[in-house]
Amino acid sequence: MFWIELAFKSLLNRRLTVMLTALSIAFSVALFLSVEKIRTDTKDNFSRTLTGTDLVVGARSGSLNLLLYSVFRIGDASNNMSWESYQELSADPAVAWSVPISLGDSHKGYRVIGTTKAYFDHYQYGREQNLAFKEGQSFDQLFDVVIGSEVARALGYPLNQQLSLVHGTGAVSFSKHDDLPFKVVGILAATGTPVDRSLHVSLQAIEAIHLGWKDGVRLQGAEGFSPEKNQKLQTETITAALIGMTSRLKTFNFQRKVNDYTDEPLSAIIPGATLQELWSMLRVLESTLLSISALVMVSGLLGLLTVVLAGLNERRREMALLRALGAPAKHVFSLLCGEAGLIALVGVVVGVCLHYGLMVALAPALLDRFGVLLNISMLAPYLFLWLGLYVLLAAFLGALPALRVYRQTLNDGLSQRI
């Protein structure tokens, strides 16, 4: 009891340096945990963006490119595929289901997808989870739109909200289709995938808003869509298609068939494999993040060592004094070790709290900006191990100078040297 009190008062006496050290450890721990969390959750989210779909088919391009625009809605398709090819391919007996996707329009920076109702039945993410409606239902009327959770949250759109689409994908665009307002009929539940940041309309709606337009420019004198005229809305091209096979085994055969398709150049990719390929490209980033956080941890420990060493002369006198009062050398030793361990422990605990605070604060922005859905939960067991090791290492580092002082006090006796 006396020793704990003494250690506590001694620490209190040096509270500024001690607090700064604990804080620097806390920051390094928080940074380490947060980087780890973002890394693992991003990886998890990422590799599960699209599951249950066996193939993604689009105009011929690199597989990463096809994946990026069709699944992540990053960049644009260089070419479209024709509706006839889509029809023909999806009629293959090996195909269980297919969902067409038509991209190219946006609303306030969020991408618009023209598709069919089948999209909501077949799009799967995570552990083969289906999309769910938080409110409303699928589109039914021509100008119905189903919005992702992030779109609803960020723009504050309720059901029945009216909105208009713009051509192109910029947040600001002058070629608006604002003569044709859409109505929100459904809001999807959050998924942590790009679906959250998309608006979904029917293929017919895409055709309707492009009547009288060509290559993103309104044609002079051409007739736009008007509901009264009952114009024919025939889809001629789509951007890509999601395909489910009747059996996984047929995937490779069908993929070859698509890649060898003679009527137009097409590509088919297996999303799982391409997602992994994409992730491995990001591995440099991943390991950079990891080494940064490791370095930060090390610098936290060095800071601790510096503080312990810097206070050593003062402490040597303290130790000589305690020895003169009859304190056993062992107590003096554990006083120094315990102190370093305690600073590290406090630093780690504060760091863990800081980490959770940071994650709670950052979660909406991460979902908003990067589509990373943070799963705020208990620390993973391996992290407990790491943190435990960290505290032990800190106590050990504290023990090194303690050992020096211990030897010196034994050797010098009670002489107070510098």
Partner 1 sequence: MQNAIEMTNLSFSWPGSQSPALQVESFAVARSERVFLRGQSGSGKSTLLNLVAGVLDGHQGALHVLGHELANMRPAQRDKLRAEHIGYIFQQFNLLPYLSVLDNTTLACRLSNTRRQRACAANGSVEKAAFALMDELGLERSLAKKPVTALSIGQQQRVAAARALIGGPDLIIADEPTSALDTEHRQKFIEQLLATCADRQVALLFVSHDPGLRQYFDRVVDMNELNRSNSHVLD
Ligand X SMILES: Nc1ncnc2c1ncn2[C@@H]1O[C@H](COP(=O)(O)OP(=O)(O)OP(=O)(O)O)[C@@H](O)[C@H]1O
**Amino acid symbol at 390:** Y
Residue from 196, 207, 318, 339 touching partner 1 (CB under 8 A): that is 318
The C-alpha atoms of residue 110 and residue 368 are separated, in whole angstroms, by 11
411 binds ligand X (CB under 6 A): yes
**Amino acid symbol at 62:** G
Contact call for residues 390 and 29 (beta carbons, < 8 A)? yes
414 binds ligand X (CB under 6 A): no
404 binds ligand X (CB under 6 A): no
Q: Is the dihedral of CA 46, 48, 49, 50 positive or negative?
A: positive
Q: CB within 8 A of 173, min separation 6: which ones?
A: 106, 166, 167
**Amino acid symbol at 215:** D
The C-alpha atoms of residue 390 and residue 304 are separated, in whole angstroms, by 12
Residue 410 site contact among ligand X, partner 1, none (CB < 5 to 8 Å, cut-off depends on kind): partner 1
Q: How far is the CB of 389 from ligand X (least distance, A)?
A: 37
412 binds ligand X (CB under 6 A): yes
| Identity of the residue, 171 or 324, whose beta carbon is nearer to ligand X in the bound complex | 324
Q: Is 125 helix (H, G, I), strand (E, B) or coil?
A: strand
x-or-dash string of contact with ligand X, 194-233, rule CB under 6 A: ----------------------------------------
Residue of 138, 232, 149 whose CA lies nearest to 195: 149
| Identity of the residue, 262 or 411, whose beta carbon is nearer to ligand X in the bound complex | 411
Q: How far is CA 354 from the centre of its chain?
A: 19
| Identity of the residue, 286 or 412, whose beta carbon is nearer to ligand X in the bound complex | 412
Residue from 226, 253, 306, 416 touching partner 1 (CB under 8 A): that is 416
**Amino acid symbol at 102:** S
Q: Which stretch binds partner 1 (CB under 8 A): 117-125, 151-159, 265-273, 318-326?
A: 318-326
Q: Which stretch binds ligand X (CB under 6 A): 9-17, 48-56, 368-376, 408-416?
A: 408-416
The C-alpha atoms of residue 221 and residue 172 are separated, in whole angstroms, by 25
| Identity of the residue, 22 or 296, whose beta carbon is nearer to partner 1 in the bound complex | 22
x-or-dash string of contact with ligand X, 35-64, rule CB under 6 A: ------------------------------
Tell me how far apart the terminal alpha carbons of the chain are, to the nearest angstrom: 30
x-or-dash string of contact with partner 1, 323-362, rule CB under 8 A: xxxxxxx---------------------------------
4 binds partner 1 (CB under 8 A): no
Contact call for residues 387 and 349 (beta carbons, < 8 A)? no
Residue from 295, 302, 385, 410 touching partner 1 (CB under 8 A): that is 410
Residue 4 site contact among partner 1, ligand X, none (CB < 5 to 8 Å, cut-off depends on kind): none
Q: How far is the CB of 313 from ligand X (least distance, A)?
A: 16
Beta-bridge mates of residue 187:
135, 147
| Identity of the residue, 12 or 217, whose beta carbon is nearer to partner 1 in the bound complex | 12
Region label for 232, one of left (φ > 0), alpha (ψ between -120 and 50) or beta (otherwise)? beta
Number of residues that bind partner 1 (CB under 8 A): 25
Contact call for residues 103 and 111 (beta carbons, < 8 A)? yes
The C-alpha atoms of residue 128 and residue 359 are separated, in whole angstroms, by 26
Q: Which stretch binds ligand X (CB under 6 A): 166-174, 322-330, 335-343, 407-415?
A: 407-415
Tokens 């050593």 label which residue?
312
In angstroms, the Cα distances linking 155 to 135, 184, 197 are 16, 12, 11
Q: Is 145 helix (H, G, I), strand (E, B) or coil?
A: strand
Residue 10 site contact among partner 1, ligand X, none (CB < 5 to 8 Å, cut-off depends on kind): partner 1
List residues near partner 1 by CB under 8 A: 2, 6, 9-10, 12-13, 317-318, 320-329, 409-411, 413-416
List residues near ligand X by CB under 6 A: 411-412, 415
